[in-house]
Chain A
Amino acid sequence: MLSTHLGPSGDLAPWAVWLALVLTVASFAMLLVEMRRRERGGTAIALSGLCAVLALLAAVVRPARVSARESVVGARVVVLADTSRSMALEPPDGPRWQSRDRAIEALARASTSARLTVLGFGEGAPQPLPMTLNDRAAEQRTTRAAHSDLGTALRELAASSEERPAAVVVVSDGRLDDPPDEASEASLKALGDAVHVDTVATTRDAPPDASVRRVSAAGAAVAHVPLPLRVEVGCAGGVTCDDVTVTARELRDDGPPALLASGIAHVKDGKAALDLTITLERAGARIVEVAIQPPPGDTIPENDRRLMTFDVARERVRVLHVAGRPTNDVRALRQWLKSDASVDVVAFFILRTPTDDVRATQNELALIPFPVDELFTEHLPSFDAIVLQDFDAQPYGLEKYLPNVERYVRGGGGLVMVGGQNSFVAGGYAGTPLASVLPVELDGAPGATSADTSPFVPDWTLEGRAAPLLSLLRDVVGDELPLMPGANVLGDVRPGGVALWSHPTRTTKRGAKMPVLAVGEAGDGRTIAMGVDGAWELEFSALGARTAGRGHGALWDGLLGWLMRDPRFEPAQIEVAGGCTAGLPSVVRARLLPAAPEGKPESVVLDVTRIDKSQAPVHIEAARTDQATSVELALPPLEPGAYTARLQVAGGGATRHDFACEAGGDEWADSRPDPKRLEALAAATGGSFVYAGEAGSLPLPRPTIVSAERHVTPVAPPWTWTLAAALLLGVHWFARRRSGLS
């Protein structure tokens, strides 16, 4: 738009123009006062005086013609729309996301003179929202954030290098993580960063709902140590709650959920808190379900249970070391176990067999009965790992407890069977429940050979060379291994197991090299089969002397560490990026160890299985590209529940990660909207608060006029103004004289 108007000369400062105007008006006023002393000719004096001061003013401001191309620019208004999962809640009056989208549309219609930028907030910096709102197809994309972090969104907006908004409009249900419920007015004001924040509440009333609003643990979870939990239960929307039953159960893949604790929450004023104490026996990621028995009228069943993932640590690794007879190998392992302050060893060695002639009475012996009953029943769950070394199951009555050991392993325990003349097939383990959890098959067929007594040096397998659990040993001994006096005859490696050392000459039934050291998983637990009893020669041998005996400790550091899922010995680290939300696709991100240089492309296989119920597993395969150290694998939408992800790289050992998928998670835990928090935010920053239906009435900032191509042309040369002023002053002087003024 082209516009033309008169203005002062461009070299004058605005204050100078104003000063000239003031002096002009003052001069004329004084003239009018002075005219009371005149004798005659008042009109002539006033007219000439007015002309004279105007001419003087014109001589000072030197009028110019200003022509410019001007445009009206609407104020920038940023609309921050809540994209958290709580917007997907569908109370009786319709989904919150629909209310949000309608409010945004109303704002867009009402703000013809403003520039609206619609961003979504939830996690981290605000992100642009899709242009097509109020659309079911867009719903999933705009209601998937696991948090409602408005604070971070506002701070990111303030720190952005883009044009500063004239106003911010927040459209949300008010159930925010940040600012928190108890935020002070000062902290709310600081969020606005000198920009007023208008707020639009999508929802007015709470839906009829009883829920587990919050589960908090007092400290970190440690295996075998009681962990206090505080469970907060809430009822809203007209649901009548009185006493609500709360249960805490561990979801396990080796059987039905294990009840850890239960209690009654006495609800008063719509809320209650209940303290429960749970004890998790197994270290690693454990999924605990905290659930309520919902009262009648509950409309959101998804938040009646929460799935909590606890990363259970170990205070100390508790190991049961059972040896069938004392040998140099038993000595070496015991000394290593006892040398590690983080390992709590309970040891039982068979020092006397029924055929030994001790030539002494019982009281002269320092021998105690082997408490096989107690150890393998009531105390079994208290151990993190069991080492059966050269131990024969039959003479000591262990056979009847082997099903317990199998359950213990499948439930998450660790088991190592170390070779010797009483191990594996010779120990009577073939065909037993325990054999089913070992990483190798045992041939208990008639005529089967149980041991090969010819000395040999084990071969490293390809997987053994790459396995992180043997990296410490390889750092010490390189490729060299000591001469072993013989080996237990082991069968093929079971599916999912990995051979790390193999026999140089013996083969299995299927023609593979006989495994000598193998690792594998069974259910929730891990097992190791070491078919030799010569590992102590990593300490006492020429090789041991050259390496200061460090090889034996390095071997067992890796084996026990892997058994206990020490991240140092895992072939990969995996996580579900951004968490898993039921019904939505998610991504598993795996950080991998460096691949062998110039190696073949490695396969990455991910299997996701349901922990809490039987369901077809999800199987995903991908190829690792070159030296990539991370891989992302897309998971299809999963049902709510607990899952185990197992990742295998290049057929090596599996890395396990347990995770939970919830329909709403924290976002649905408290389904009540919180318009008061939005109102407080608006009040603290000088903005306005409305409900979604009145979004169009929000007062938005006025537009700004911007001029372009401005041309300034003097109306007349400066000297003409000065000349006119001199002439008019002369006329005025003449009129005064004529009227009797001086």
Chain B
Amino acid sequence: MRFPPIAVALVAFSLGLALFLSAPRPAQAFGDIGAFDPRVLLTGNQTAAARATAPARWSWELVQRTSAPARLRPTLLRADDPAIVDAPFLYWSGDAEVAALTGAELTGLRRFFALGGVLLVDDAAPGARGEPSAFARSARREIARALPDTIPVALGVDHVVFRTFYLLRRAEGRVEGPPSLDAIVRGGQAQVLFSEHDLGGALARGASGTWEQPVTPGGDLQRERAIRLAVNIAMYVLCSNYKDDQVHAPFLMRRRALSSP
């Protein structure tokens, strides 16, 4: 007995559909509450990040390159917003001097830091050699008010932030800037990272799919390294010093030796 081809196709389709429907359904993500969220911190008169498209691109790059989930539509919030304590990361960028933080803004930041939150201060207008802009200087001044008795220190290439995902030799952004990042370290954790490389400038990408800012002097290779630094910072936020664990040490030392010029 022969079955008509259409009947065979229908049976096969039905079986396939049944198998598809009968398999346990994969879990939907539990929202994106626990994902990396480069929340844009706004203070004073700020209404957006200096590089408005950079946070979303940062999340996108993170999702493409790593297993980490990230919010593709990062949130904006003001320093005095009670929601400042709702997640462990804030991204503060600017290209102009920021006004002195109000008492409420200082209180919000202090509550955030008290819980162990991490803040990246990204100078969007550094000099070609990474000379700090008015934003960078004023941001450091205000952070010093929020965290008195602390002082930024330079994080060398041996710090875990340079190997949380990629092995990096230095910090770079839209501009080459200084090779290191400055940071305020509290309780063994870099809680405030200062970038004078316009990291957001290297990440910013318009709706048309073109990069918004040219990267100097290294061009696309430098942009790639800047993106890698951004990925590493996100991984540092999510995994803290995981790559400092002893189990990773022999592997990373061998790779550093192999990739040395």
Contacts and interface: CB of A to CB of B under 8 A. Distances in A.
Interface of A: 324-331, 334-335, 338, 345-353, 356-360, 362-368, 419-423, 425-426, 430, 444-451, 453, 455, 484-488, 532-534, 536-537, 539-542, 544-545, 548-549
A331 B87 CA distance: 11
A360 B85 contact: no
Interface string B242-257: 1101011001100100
Nearest to A445: B24
Nearest to B64: A357
Contacts of B177: none
A346 to B, nearest CB: 6
10 contacts: A326-B238, A327-B68, A329-B34, A331-B237, A335-B240, A357-B64, A365-B165, A366-B243, A446-B22, A448-B24
Contacts of A455: 31
**Closest 6 pairs (CB-CB, A-B):** A446-B22, A486-B30, A451-B27, A426-B27, A326-B238, A485-B33
A499 to B, nearest CB: 20
Contacts of B82: 542, 545
A404 to B, nearest CB: 20
Nearest to B67: A325
Most buried by A among B26, B69, B116, B242: B242
Contact of A540 (B69, B85, B245, B259): B85
A326 B23 contact: no
A418 to B, nearest CB: 11
B34 A536 contact: yes
B30 A420 contact: yes
A445 B36 CA distance: 33
Nearest to B87: A540
Interface in B116-140: 116-117
Interface in B211-257: 224, 228, 235, 237-243, 245, 247-248, 251-252, 255
Contacts of A422: 27
A419 to B, nearest CB: 8
A347 B242 contact: yes
A385 B203 CA distance: 41
Given A365-B167, A485-B32, A549-B114, 16 more contacts: A326-B36, A326-B235, A335-B116, A346-B245, A359-B224, A363-B167, A363-B255, A366-B255, A420-B27, A420-B34, A453-B29, A453-B31, A484-B30, A486-B31, A533-B34, A542-B86
Contacts of B67: 324-326, 350-353, 356
A328 B87 contact: yes
A533 B30 contact: yes
Nearest to B162: A366
B167 A366 contact: yes
A360 B228 contact: yes
Contacts of A364: 166-167, 259
B30 A453 contact: yes
A330 to B, nearest CB: 7
A357 B68 CA distance: 13
Contacts of B115: 539-540, 544-545, 548-549
Contacts of A544: 85, 115
Given A352-B66, A421-B28, A487-B30, A447 B22 contact: yes
Nearest to A483: B33
B88 to A, nearest CB: 6
B72 to A, nearest CB: 15
A331 B22 contact: no
A653 to B, nearest CB: 27
A539 B115 CA distance: 7
Contact of A542 (B31, B85, B248, B259): B85
A328 to B, nearest CB: 4
Contact of B30 (A348, A447, A451, A539): A451
B159 interface: no
A402 B88 CA distance: 34
Contacts of B259: 363-364
Interface in B83-122: 85-88, 111, 114-117
Nearest to A424: B27
A449 B26 CA distance: 8
Given A365-B167, A534-B33, A338 B240 contact: yes
A544 B82 CA distance: 12
Nearest to A548: B114
A353 B63 CA distance: 11
B51 interface: no
Nearest to A444: B24
B57 interface: no
B25 A450 contact: yes
Given A363-B255, A447-B21, A540-B117, A326 B27 contact: no
B31 to A, nearest CB: 4
B85 A331 contact: no
B65 A356 contact: yes
Contacts of B242: 334, 347, 349
A263 to B, nearest CB: 36
Contacts of B85: 540-542, 544-545
B163 interface: yes
Contacts of A345: 245
A324 to B, nearest CB: 7
Given A453-B29, A542-B82, A542-B85, A367 B165 contact: yes
A450 B30 CA distance: 11
Contact of B252 (A352, A360, A366): A366
Contacts of B26: 421, 426, 450
Most buried by B among A419, A448, A486, A536: A486
Contacts of B24: 425-426, 430, 444-448, 450
